[in-house]
Chain A
Amino acid sequence: MPRTATGRRRLLTLVLAVVLLILLLPYLWLILTSLKTRNDIFSGNVFSAFAPTLDNFRVAFLQKGFARNLLNSAIVATTAMSIAMAVGVPAGYALSRNVTRSSTVLLFVMLAARLMPVVVLAVPLFVIMANLGLVGTYAGPVVAHLTFLVPFVVWMMRGFFLAVPKELDEAALMDGATRARYFFTLLLPMTRGPLAATAIFALINSWNEFLYGLILTNKSTATLPVATPSLMTPIGTFWGQIAAVGVVTTLPVLVFALLVQRHIVRGMTGGALSDG
């Protein structure tokens, strides 16, 4: 009896794995396409044998300047993430401990900012940035990304700090440490894992962002998602190069995401839900 139950479970796992792999076929196609020549892409069968080549990567990143966009994406994402962590982590701690009416209002404001349609802020941000002469600089996307990264870091870290018993705070404060000293020398080192997970999700969110980047950057500061559609031109679409850029855009995200898989539900809901 237990053996058949185990057998059934294994069979079910196998079936689910096959279903998921079929669902992931479009992504597999994308990866294969990035390795094909133009002729191989246009010649019918997707899975027929072909001689893999790195030409698409070479042309896109070295000749068409996508290396620059890759660098732009990295600069914007790390800068926005660092600022969001610096201001968001202490706030997340404060909001996990201090339950007053104003802190509840603040928490709500943060969630509303997270759920706000991007265009609502994109239009005025463009006007403000244009007045300051900052359209086309890194300041544009960094400032814009802070609108969702700060609330994200606050909610995410608040959830993790809620799990740290208050008694620990009290014990440290009773021993004469100041709140700040306790926070920096005890609490932060203790929550290294959650801090890393939050930072990674913040990076991913900034990296994947499109609309703010589209409006606030120019040719030399465009991030990867913003620059990619430029490969669809009136004289034809360079599918091989789009696929190559797509692979380079998504692979780092995949690797990072697998590292923080455990916290994915929390991460994808902006920290509003725990991982169960």
Chain B
Amino acid sequence: MLRELFEMVEAYPSSVAIRESLNAYPILLTSHVIGMCVFAGLVMMMDFRLAGFGNKSTSITDVQGRLFTWQMVGLAVSVVTGALLAYGQPMRFYPNFYFWTKNLLIVLAGINIWYFHTKTYQTVEQWNYDPVPPFAARLAGVVSIVLWSAIIIIGRMIAYPGLVPQWWLDLGLDA
């Protein structure tokens, strides 16, 4: 069913147009990396503060609130260009192990953000200026650093469809 969806999109004239354009792929890919730098870079600066690794002169609410807009700008660029990259070559990404692993990790990162903001962050006024925040906040920071690093690593690995786990090939998922 998912496969039919990807095949259907691949046949759209707009998908063909992106795929066959000489400039679309380099422009989208370069913008995707720049969006990633802004988003992941500023998220990690915030995570370092949360984890107690650095940026200790800035309060938690400041490092969260003042960088939030720019993180969202980077995220918007990455999501739009990423979606267009997938839209232009759906059947290149459909059989790719790393493509699905990356999307799964993004969902996990989203769950970490949701849990942190609805639970841990609610008590921020009590530890806003602590150089080393409480365990739950440090954990959220470390989990975020690990997940976003993994997303960057796995995202780059999409370019190496030949270097996937053997079971992915054994199950015939690479076609």
Say whether A and B bind each other.
no
B residues lining the A interface (CB < 8 Å): none
